């Protein structure tokens, strides 16, 4: 499916969703970028995953970006059947208590990737069965990938 066809089939089910427009002078891949509100994420995910013409069965990666004013969670979806790609972006405005619903029941591969985001960026994934720190020690303070993170000197410094 082409980018345009993908967008129309998504908007047919979720009329509110819009493509993220490409900013002038910026570089971007040829994938379709769609902004999704956190509330609609799971429902959209279910549709994308199981609707036969879409069947995005492979979640390549989940990551997050700290834009200083807000967070952004990025999902990179690929359909192994139709070979089309889709990038979903969820904007998280709340910097104090950021939360996004988990999609790990749909794509189990999100399990550890969401844990990693929680570990390093501090975004909570509501409904995740085992949201613990994964790379850092359990007693680590702060979320290192945030732009305002200040490294505390420890006993090795």
The verdict on 61 binding another protein (CB under 8 A) reads yes
- CA dist 27 and 18 (Å) reads 19
Q: Does 53 sit near another protein (CB under 8 A)?
A: no
Query: Based on CB atoms, which residue is closest to another protein, 7 or 64?
Result: 64
- Return left, alpha or beta for 142; rule: phi > 0 is left, psi -120 to 50 is alpha, else beta: left
Handedness of CA 20, 21, 27, 32 (dihedral sign): positive
Which residue matches tokens 């794509």? 107
Residues of this chain, 66-105, that bind another protein according to CB under 8 A: 66, 74, 76, 80-81, 83, 102, 104-105
Q: Which of the residues 119 through 148 are near another protein (CB under 8 A)? A: 120, 127-130, 133-137, 144-145
Min dist. Cβ of residue 112 to another protein (A)? 5
């Amino acid at each position: 499916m082409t980018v345009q066809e993908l967008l129309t089939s998504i908007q047919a089910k979720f009329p509110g969703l819009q493509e993220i427009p490409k900013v002038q002078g910026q570089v971007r891949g040829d994938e379709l970028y769609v902004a999704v509100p956190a509330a609609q994420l799971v429902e959209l995910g279910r549709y994308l995953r199981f609707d036969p013409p879409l069947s995005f069965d492979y979640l390549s990666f989940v990551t997050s970006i700290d834009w200083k004013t807000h967070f952004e969670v990025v999902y990179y979806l690929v359909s192994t059947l139709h070979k089309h790609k889709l990038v979903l972006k969820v904007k998280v405005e709340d910097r104090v208590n950021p939360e996004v619903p988990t999609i790990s029941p749909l794509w189990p591969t999100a399990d550890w990737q969401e844990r990693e985001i929680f570990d390093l960026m501090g975004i909570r994934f509501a409904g995740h069965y085992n949201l613990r720190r994964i790379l850092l020690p359990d007693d680590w303070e702060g979320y290192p990938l945030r732009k305002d993170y200040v490294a505390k000197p420890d006993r090795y410094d």
